[in-house]
Every structure is written in structure tokens, then in C-alpha cells.
Structure 1
Amino acid sequence: MSALPRIDSGVTVDDRSTIADWREMLAAELEVLSPAQRRTAMAQAVEDTGGIWMPTGADTWGPHYAEITVGGVMAQGEDLDACIASWIKHVVRISRADQEAA
């Protein structure tokens, strides 16, 4: 999985192109993985970057949707698999919008 440049390497949070590039690489890597591999890879990305990983609640208590925030992009879905697929779609849409705006 692509490593996000660390803050101490001289990359700042404001370096949007570096973060956008990292998100696009991660999305491309996730697209070809099985659902189980996607969950593992996304969990690692969340842990590495301090993102948010919120699975659906057990039984009837807790949220009835999953939520993931990684690399500044938040996505929701009915379960973690749908949530990760939604995150990939968001990253692709952001990339296309950035290209059209340039």
C-alpha cells in the first residue's frame, strides 16, 4: 500500500497535491482487491493516517451505517464494503473535478 508522506519529511498538511496523489494511488490499489483485502488495506490506511473507521453497530444499538474518513475524504455506506466502495468513488470524482478545474 502507498505510504502517505510523513509530516516530518517536509510535507505539510497544506500540500494538497501530495495528499490527492496519495488518495488516488490508494483508491487504485483498493479497486483491484477482494472485499476482505480492501477492509484490511483500508484499516491499515486509517491507522497510519489517523483516520476514522466506524463500522455499523452490533444488533440494534449504534449507527446503522458505516463511515470512513481517510486522506480528507469521508464516505458512508450500509456496511464497510459499501463504505470503502463509496470512498473510492469519491476520490475518483474529486480527481476528475480537479482535472476539469485546472
Structure 2
Amino acid sequence: MSSLPRIDGVVTVDDRSTIAYWREKLAAELEVLSPAQRRTAMAHAVEDTGGTWMPTGADTWGPHHAEITVAGVMAQGEDLDFCIASWIKHVVRISRADQEAA
């Protein structure tokens, strides 16, 4: 069992161990990839974390929008590429809001 770092008797958690850090790292990695590479990387993230990956339906069957949920952040859009781009933007907005609130 590893000990948590302490500052003035208060237990602190290393930021690198939080889901927020993981989301921000994934978003940064996705930003520089091509659309095809983004889809592959996001598919792995969904599989690894138990997220959801719902592409648009073929022709008239199924949903007419795509949806992705990973690490507590959900994005919808006209296709998976748009969803991934939206997911990245949502993560950046959440990060900025967290920094402003701190």
C-alpha cells in the first residue's frame, strides 16, 4: 500500500492519478491525430474504460446522430469524427472551468 503525500497534515492526491488528468491527456493526444487515428484511439479508450460508442445508423435504421461517452464526458454529433472533436472541446472547457473555480 502506497502512502499518499501530505501537506500540513492534509492528505493530497497527485493530480496525475485523477480522471480529469487522464481525460486531459487523452484529449491532448487526440488533437494531433488524423481523423482515422482519432477514431482508432477513441475506440480503444472506450473499450478500455467501459465508455459508449454509438455510430450513426445505416440509411434509415438506427440513430441519426453519433454519440461517444468516455471518462464521464459525453459528446453527440452528425458522425464519429464530429463527436470526437466535440469531446475534445468539452474536456478543454471542463478543464478551464475547473481552473477558474480553484
Normalized against structure 1, the TM-score is what?
0.84
| Aligned residues: CA RMSD | 6.8
What is the SS of the residue equivalent to 1:60? Answer: coil
**Which of the two has higher C-alpha Rg?**
2
What is the Cα deviation at residue 13 of structure 1? 13
Identity of aligned residues (%): 90
CA distance in 1 between partners of 2:55 and 2:2 (Å): 23
CA distance in 2 between partners of 1:53 and 1:6 (Å): 39
CA distance in 2 between partners of 1:65 and 1:17 (Å): 33
The answer to whether the 8 A contact 1:7-1:13 is kept is no
Q: Segments of 4+ in structure 1 off by > 6 A?
A: 1-17
Normalized against structure 2, the TM-score is what?
0.84
CA distance in 2 between partners of 1:50 and 1:13 (Å): 24
The answer to whether the 8 A contact 1:4-1:49 is kept is no
